[in-house]
Amino acid sequence: MLYSEKVMDHFQNPRNVGKMEDADGVGEVGNAKCGDIMKMYIKVKDDIITDVKFNTFGCGSAIATSSMATEMIKGKSIDEALELSNKAVVEALDGLPANKIHCSVLAEEAVKAAIEDYRSRQQ
């Protein structure tokens, strides 16, 4: 099969989808290769990401990787979340087809953009 069970699961039942009205940081990134867009919202308390939401105008792999990425950073500190790589997300999903790896980059970049926004608001 082209996609792992975990990818299919997160694609069909994505976790943490939606908007966050009172987010502490919002990141929006676009994928230059396909034009897809990802928006990530984070809620932070005492340097810990207490809640995450995402919205995407993207493909199934982008949905699955973002869903997994939100699960991986929830409850983590800002510094830990910054270390999340698209590779780690892909591994957690038991892999993606090679031509879909670029979709996972969107998730990593959206997390970083949301944290950057959060940090800029703290100053």
Q: How far apart are CA 39 and CA 107, in angstroms?
A: 9
Whole-number minimum distance, CB 32 to ligand FES, in Å? 10
Catalytic residue among 33, 34, 47, 97: 34
Is position 34 annotated as part of the catalytic site? yes
Nearer to ligand FES, 24 or 108 (CB): 108
Residues near ligand FES, by CB under 6 A: 31, 34, 36, 58-59, 61-62, 103, 106
Whole-number minimum distance, CB 22 to ligand FES, in Å? 28
Is position 103 annotated as part of the catalytic site? yes
Catalytic residue among 7, 72, 96, 103: 103
Whole-number minimum distance, CB 102 to ligand FES, in Å? 7
3-class SS string, the chain? CCCCHHHHHHHHCCCCECCCCCCCEEEEEECCCCCCEEEEEEEEECCEEEEEEEEEECCHHHHHHHHHHHHHHCCCEHHHHHCCCHHHHHHHCCCCCHHHHHHHHHHHHHHHHHHHHHHHHHC
Nearer to ligand FES, 28 or 51 (CB): 28
Nearer to ligand FES, 6 or 119 (CB): 6
Active site residues: 34, 103
